């Protein structure tokens, strides 16, 4: 068992070194002389033991964040993004098929209203598969009273009506800007980007990652299709353990009825000397 | 003037000097805020490049200042209270010592040059409480300034070290260090707890640890984290200044690859910034009783170990200090911080400054991860500087106060 853990940890540590995310074929990287191969880090002991986990420690929190990403992909909207408030209970166990399953009891809030807003109690099973190539975690989630929280239907509809018109060509960069400023008009677009980014963050997550969206680099409205708002986003994601900023371009659709769907995603290299996303 | 005083106090009036009125015009036209247009109607036809002085009542001043901050247009408030100025002119003796007209906005993020001027100004205007000195030079040759705060009474006072901006993109850090200094100096007279701290302790404040990186995050890449040192044979630059300390260096949670954001460097203390601070703390190790490093984001208060899952020998005292600090922080606005050893609470990392400080004999070594929890992340809005700094101030004061008592846990 210990050998297996060590080998698995070695593999996952290798995946963390500078390279495109695990689920992508390496694209053509930035030009320049190839760097000497980095030396391999040594293996480390696995902290999390099977059984009850400390809810304030990072293994439980990372699993809860994955459940949050899942929640946002299903219930996020231009006027609602959920954030983690607290993990109450957590446990983990290795699974026969080769993976680790976390059982979580946690609370979430509507992130916009901060700690002032009402908290929703949720429970989730998060399974991190252990396969040779990375595959997305599997989440089963149940939140109490999800339907009872204040509906944003009115704002959703007003927003939809405003931007579904054929003349609408929203285009913006740097949301928020370096000083944290974000205009009120841009906030629903930021939330949509955050929800769309949740699809990517969910898919790319492992026990060794903890993702957040650092910023929306750009928003470009595309021609509406099948009564869906079509938006192309370039988002910057931040991963805690590696502290890396990862750039993704994605195409998403949204309508009040269908919610957010992500149609295309493309990892983009962040060349050291360039700050603008490559075209 | 005598006639005016006879009829009661004047309404507080301000002149705002706007340096780049052209930029303000552009902002007004782009954002279409008609209220500003009407307010500044008289100046609108102005096309000259000289600064414009605008005069209005207090409420309007605050409102305009907010917009100027948002547009990042530099301004100066010239006369904040005509009454005070009149009283000064006719020789009215105020209990406050006459300070310069230097006005500094602690609720915006400042570029490196402004922080440097501010440090010199603090040193100049508070000679009995402040001493400014340099502990070395950054990779790109910038001085590494430290402010010593506290009454210069006894030579062997216990000391507290606070550094901010180890990681370039964590702008709320330097903002807090500046806030701390401002609060300490402004409240010395009327706040007995602060006065006691300043009398009995020395505070060493390093407002920007990673000066090169901070400058780079303003000029080129807002999300830059590391230093800016060149690495032989690689096209990437910079070392993670919180992985470069000589304690279990480059073990788990740090990277040997120079292009990575947690690159530990070619060897421990390879970074001149790290080396300078380590040298200073080694020199003063007998006096320094608390090491506090300010980071963002996550809303956490962390203590050793970062590199392993083990309990420190003085766990009871440190954990209790952390608990008190987090309670004090919570008392301001109800914001929750997690606290605990860095390795289990945040992640395992090696070569961190708190582990080194602790190993070096400093009994209380803390790393703060300030607001928020990921909504704005590194891009914390300037409007949140005030509450973040206010609550963090309470936590830091609590830790400092704890040093004045003996821990018997």
Asked if A186 and A175 count as a contact pair (C-beta separation under 8 A), the reply is yes
Least confident piece of the model among A251-255, B47-51, B216-220: B47-51
Distance CA(A177)–CA(A215), nearest Å, equals: 8
Q: Is it the case that residue B104 has pLDDT exceeding 50?
A: yes
Q: Is it the case that residue B401 has pLDDT exceeding 90?
A: yes
**Which of the four pLDDT bands, split at 50, 70 and 90, describes residue B42?**
low
Q: Is it the case that residue B53 has pLDDT exceeding 80?
A: no
What confidence score (pLDDT) does residue A146 get? Answer: 81
Query: By CB neighbour count within 10 A (0-12 exposed, 13-18 middle, 19+ buried), where does B1 fall?
Result: exposed
What confidence score (pLDDT) does residue B112 get? Answer: 98
**Nearest residue of B to residue A33 by CA position?**
B235
Distance CA(A75)–CA(A80), nearest Å, equals: 8
Q: Is it the case that residue B7 has pLDDT exceeding 50?
A: no
B192-196: long-range contacts at Cβ-Cβ below 8 A with a sequence spacing of 24 or more? B193/B397, B193/B401, B194/B397, B196/B401, B196/B404
Q: Is it the case that residue A63 has pLDDT exceeding 70?
A: yes
Q: What are phi and psi of B343, to 5 degrees?
A: -60, -35
What confidence score (pLDDT) does residue B79 get? Answer: 54
Which among A41, A180, A236 is the nearest to B381, CB-wise? A180
Decide if A241 and B253 are in contact by the 8 Å CB cutoff: yes
Q: Which residues of A touch B (CB under 8 A)?
A: 17-18, 32-33, 35-36, 38-39, 41-42, 44, 47, 54, 56-58, 83-84, 86, 111, 115, 176-182, 210, 212-215, 236, 238, 240-245, 272, 275
**Which of the four pLDDT bands, split at 50, 70 and 90, describes residue B2?**
very low
Asked if A197 and A235 count as a contact pair (C-beta separation under 8 A), the reply is yes
| Shortest alpha-carbon distance between residue B257 and chain A (Å) | 5
Cα separations in angstroms, B275 against B138, B157, B281: 10, 24, 10
**Nearest residue of A to residue B240 by CA position?**
A243
Q: Which residues of A touch B377 (CB under 8 A)?
A: 212-215, 238
Q: Which residues of A touch B256 (CB under 8 A)?
A: 38-39, 41
| Shortest alpha-carbon distance between residue B301 and chain A (Å) | 12
Decide if B335 and A54 are in contact by the 8 Å CB cutoff: no
> Average pLDDT for residues B360-372, to the nearest whole number?
98
| Shortest alpha-carbon distance between residue A225 and chain B (Å) | 30
Q: What are phi and psi of A215, to 5 degrees?
A: -170, 155
Distance CA(B202)–CA(B224), nearest Å, equals: 32
Q: Which residues of A touch B255 (CB under 8 A)?
A: 17, 38, 41, 242
Q: What are phi and psi of A22, to 5 degrees?
A: -60, -30
Distance CA(B104)–CA(B125), nearest Å, equals: 13
What confidence score (pLDDT) does residue A151 get? Answer: 81
* Residue located via tokens 């000083």: A179
Cα separations in angstroms, A240 against A9, A205, B164, B213, B359: 17, 12, 19, 19, 25
Residues of B (261-280) whose Cβ lies below 8 Å from A:
261-262
Q: Which residues of B touch A247 (CB under 8 A)?
A: none
Cα separations in angstroms, A143 against A106, A244, B278: 9, 31, 49
Q: Which residues of B touch A180 (CB under 8 A)?
A: 376, 379-384
What confidence score (pLDDT) does residue B15 get? Answer: 65
What confidence score (pLDDT) does residue A37 get? Answer: 35
Q: Is it the case that residue A18 has pLDDT exceeding 60?
A: no
**How does pLDDT run across B321-339, given as a tens digit for each residue?**
999 999 999 999 999 999 9
- Give the closest residue to A79 by CA, choosing from A121, A124, A117, A106: A117
Asked if A207 and A59 count as a contact pair (C-beta separation under 8 A), the reply is yes
**Nearest residue of A to residue B238 by CA position?**
A272
Least confident piece of the model among B56-65, B330-339, B353-362: B56-65
Least confident piece of the model among A18-32, A258-272, B101-115, B288-302: A18-32
Decide if A83 and B373 are in contact by the 8 Å CB cutoff: yes
Q: Is it the case that residue A38 has pLDDT exceeding 60?
A: no
Q: Most A CBs within 10 Å: which of B220, B255, B350, as the mutation test of the A interface?
A: B255
Q: What is the largest CA-CA distance in chain B?
A: 77
**Nearest residue of A to residue B231 by CA position?**
A35
Q: Which residues of B are catalytic?
A: 369
DSSP assignment string, B198-216 = HHHEEEEEES-S-HHHHHH
Least confident piece of the model among A139-153, A205-219, B63-77, B93-107: B93-107
Which among A115, A177, A212 is the nearest to B377, CB-wise? A212
Residues in chain A: 279
Pairing of strands A259-268, A138-143: unpaired
Which among B221, B309, B377 is the nearest to A47, CB-wise? B309
**How does pLDDT run across B125-152, given as a tens digit for each residue?**
999 999 999 999 999 999 999 999 998 8
User: Which pair of structure tokens corresponds to residue B332?
Assistant: 């301001």
Decide if A115 and B336 are in contact by the 8 Å CB cutoff: yes
Query: What's the ipTM?
Result: 0.83
Q: Is it the case that residue A22 has pLDDT exceeding 80?
A: no
Which among B220, B298, B336 is the nearest to A275, CB-wise? B220
What confidence score (pLDDT) does residue A152 get? Answer: 87
Decide if B379 and A244 are in contact by the 8 Å CB cutoff: no
Q: Which residues of A touch B344 (CB under 8 A)?
A: 47, 54, 57-58
**How does pLDDT run across A198-226, given as a tens digit for each residue?**
999 999 999 999 999 999 999 999 999 99
What's the N-to-C CA distance of chain B in angstroms? 63
What confidence score (pLDDT) does residue A50 get? Answer: 73
Q: Which helix (H) or strand (E) holds B331?
A: helix B315-333
> Average pLDDT for residues B10-31, to the nearest whole number?
61
Q: Of residues B61 and A59, which shows the higher confidence score?
A: A59
What confidence score (pLDDT) does residue B78 get? Answer: 65
Q: Is it the case that residue B8 has pLDDT exceeding 90?
A: no
User: Which pair of structure tokens corresponds to residue A145?
Assistant: 């009273």
What confidence score (pLDDT) does residue A193 get? Answer: 98
Q: Is it the case that residue A25 has pLDDT exceeding 70?
A: no
What confidence score (pLDDT) does residue B51 get? Answer: 64
User: Which pair of structure tokens corresponds to residue A201?
Assistant: 């963050």
Q: Which helix (H) or strand (E) holds B32?
A: none
What confidence score (pLDDT) does residue A167 get? Answer: 92
What confidence score (pLDDT) does residue A97 get? Answer: 83
β-sheet bridge partners, residue B296: B370
Residues of B (303-342) whose Cβ lies below 8 Å from A:
309, 334-336, 338, 340
DSSP letter (8 states) at residue B335? -
Decide if B259 and A35 are in contact by the 8 Å CB cutoff: yes
Q: Is it the case that residue A236 has pLDDT exceeding 70?
A: yes
DSSP assignment string, A39-97 = PPPPP----PPSEEE-TTSHHHHHHHHHHHHHHHHHH-BTTB-EEEEEEEEEEEEEETT
Q: Is it the case that residue B270 has pLDDT exceeding 60?
A: yes
Q: Where are the alpha helices (DSSP H) in chain A?
A: 2-16, 58-75, 153-164, 187-204
**Residues in contact with B90: Cβ distance below 8 Å, sequence separation at least 6, in sequence order:** B1, B2
Q: What is the mean pLDDT of chain A?
A: 83
β-sheet bridge partners, residue A207: none
Q: In which region does residue B16 sit, left (phi positive, over 0), alpha (psi from -120 to 50) or beta (all else)?
A: beta
| Shortest alpha-carbon distance between residue B262 and chain A (Å) | 6
Decide if A111 and B375 are in contact by the 8 Å CB cutoff: yes
- For B190, other C-beta atoms within 10 Å of its C-beta total 8
B39-48: long-range contacts at Cβ-Cβ below 8 A with a sequence spacing of 24 or more? B39/B64, B46/B21, B47/B22
Distance CA(A177)–CA(B28), nearest Å, equals: 18
Which among B109, B262, B379 is the nearest to A176, CB-wise? B379
Q: How far is C-alpha A270 from the chain's CA centre?
A: 18
Q: Is it the case that residue A143 has pLDDT exceeding 60?
A: yes
Distance CA(B297)–CA(B370), nearest Å, equals: 5
Q: Of residues B282 and B24, which shows the higher confidence score?
A: B282
Between chain A and chain B, the number of residue pairs with CB atoms below 8 A apart is: 118
Q: Most A CBs within 10 Å: which of B262, B297, B377, as the mutation test of the A interface?
A: B377
**Residues in contact with B300: Cβ distance below 8 Å, sequence separation at least 6, in sequence order:** B337, B338, B339, B340, B345, B346, B368, B369
**Nearest residue of B to residue A83 by CA position?**
B375
| Shortest alpha-carbon distance between residue A226 and chain B (Å) | 31
Residues of B (226-255) whose Cβ lies below 8 Å from A:
233-237, 240, 251-253, 255
* Residue located via tokens 């006005």: B103
Is the CB of residue B260 less than 8 Å away from at least one CB of chain A? yes
What confidence score (pLDDT) does residue A257 get? Answer: 94
Q: What are phi and psi of A258, to 5 degrees?
A: -90, -15
What confidence score (pLDDT) does residue B21 get? Answer: 64
Decide if B255 and A38 are in contact by the 8 Å CB cutoff: yes
What's the N-to-C CA distance of chain A in angstroms? 47
Could you write out the three-class secondary structure of B153-169?
CCCCCEEEEEEECCCCC
Asked if B362 and B288 count as a contact pair (C-beta separation under 8 A), the reply is yes
**Nearest residue of A to residue B334 by CA position?**
A115
Decide if A176 and B381 are in contact by the 8 Å CB cutoff: yes
**Nearest residue of B to residue A185 by CA position?**
B31
Q: Determine the 3-state secondary structure of B382 from DSSP.
A: helix
Pairing of strands B288-296, B158-164: parallel
Q: Determine the 3-state secondary structure of A20 from DSSP.
A: coil
| Shortest alpha-carbon distance between residue B259 and chain A (Å) | 7
What confidence score (pLDDT) does residue A226 get? Answer: 94
Least confident piece of the model among A49-53, A221-225, B370-374: A49-53
Cα separations in angstroms, B313 against B154, B248, B285, B305: 30, 18, 18, 11
Query: By CB neighbour count within 10 A (0-12 exposed, 13-18 middle, 19+ buried), where does A251 fall?
Result: middle
């Amino acid at each position: 068992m210990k050998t297996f853990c060590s080998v698995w940890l070695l593999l996952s540590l290798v995946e963390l070194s500078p390279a495109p995310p695990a689920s992508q074929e390496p694209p053509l990287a930035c030009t320049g002389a190839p760097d000497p191969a980095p030396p391999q880090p040594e293996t480390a002991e696995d902290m999390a033991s099977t059984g009850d986990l400390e809810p304030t420690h990072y293994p439980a929190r990372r699993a809860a964040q994955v459940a949050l990403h899942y929640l946002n992909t299903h219930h996020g909207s231009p006027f609602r993004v959920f954030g983690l408030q607290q993990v109450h209970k957590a446990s983990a166990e290795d699974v026969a098929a080769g993976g680790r399953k976390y059982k979580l009891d946690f609370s979430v809030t509507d992130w916009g209203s901060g700690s002032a807003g009402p908290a929703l109690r949720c429970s989730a099973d998060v399974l991190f598969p252990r396969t040779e190539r990375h595959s997305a975690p599997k989440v089963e989630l149940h939140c109490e009273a999800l339907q009872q929280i204040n509906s944003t239907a009115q704002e959703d509809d007003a927003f939809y009506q405003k931007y579904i018109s054929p003349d609408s060509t929203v285009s913006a960069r740097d949301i928020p800007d370096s000083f944290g400023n974000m205009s009120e008009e841009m906030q629903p677009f930021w939330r949509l980007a955050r929800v769309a980014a949740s699809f990517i963050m969910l898919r790319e997550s492992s026990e060794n990652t903890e993702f957040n969206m650092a910023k929306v680099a750009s928003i470009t409205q595309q021609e509406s299709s099948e009564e869906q708002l079509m938006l192309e986003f370039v988002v910057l994601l931040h991963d805690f353990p590696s502290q890396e900023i990862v750039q993704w371009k994605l195409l998403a659709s949204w309508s009040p009825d269908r919610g957010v769907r992500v149609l295309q995603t493309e990892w983009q290299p962040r060349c050291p000397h360039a700050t603008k996303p490559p075209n | 003037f005598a006639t005016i005083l006879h009829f009661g106090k004047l309404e507080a009036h301000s002149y705002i000097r706007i340096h780049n009125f052209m930029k303000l015009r552009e902002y007004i036209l782009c954002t279409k805020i008609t209220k500003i247009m009407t307010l500044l109607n008289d100046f609108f036809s102005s096309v000259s490049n000289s600064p414009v002085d605008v005069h209005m009542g207090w409420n309007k001043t605050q409102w305009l200042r907010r917009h100027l901050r948002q547009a990042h247009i530099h301004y100066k408030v010239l006369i904040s209270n005509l009454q005070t100025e009149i009283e000064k002119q006719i020789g009215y003796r105020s209990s406050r010592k006459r300070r310069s007209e230097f006005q500094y906005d602690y609720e915006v993020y400042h570029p490196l040059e402004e922080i440097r001027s501010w440090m010199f100004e603090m040193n100049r205007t508070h000679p009995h409480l402040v001493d400014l000195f340099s502990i070395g030079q950054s990779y790109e040759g910038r001085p590494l300034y430290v402010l010593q705060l506290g009454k210069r009474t006894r030579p062997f006072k216990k000391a507290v070290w606070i550094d901010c901006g180890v990681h370039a993109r964590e702008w709320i850090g330097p903002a807090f260090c500046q806030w701390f200094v401002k609060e300490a100096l402004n409240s010395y007279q009327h706040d007995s707890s602060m006065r006691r701290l300043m009398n009995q302790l020395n505070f060493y404040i390093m407002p920007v640890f990673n000066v090169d990186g901070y400058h780079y995050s303003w000029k080129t890449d807002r999300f830059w984290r590391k230093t800016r040192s060149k690495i032989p044979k690689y096209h990437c630059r910079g070392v993670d200044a919180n992985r470069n300390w000589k304690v279990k260096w480059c073990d788990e949670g740090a990277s040997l690859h120079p292009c990575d954001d947690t690159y530990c460097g070619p060897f421990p203390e390879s970074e001149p910034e790290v080396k300078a601070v380590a040298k200073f703390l080694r020199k003063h190790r007998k006096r320094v009783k608390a090491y506090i490093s300010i980071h963002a984001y996550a809303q956490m208060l962390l203590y050793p170990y970062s590199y392993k899952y083990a309990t420190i020998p003085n766990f009871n005292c440190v954990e209790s200090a952390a608990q008190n600090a987090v309670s004090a922080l919570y008392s301001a606005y109800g914001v929750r911080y997690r606290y605990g050893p860095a390795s289990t609470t945040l992640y395992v990392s090696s070569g961190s400054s708190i582990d080194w400080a602790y190993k070096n004999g400093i009994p209380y070594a803390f790393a703060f991860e300030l607001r928020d929890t990921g909504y704005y992340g590194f891009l914390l809005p300037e409007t949140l500087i005030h509450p973040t700094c206010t609550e963090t101030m309470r936590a830091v004061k609590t830790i400092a106060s704890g040093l004045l008592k003996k821990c018997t846990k």
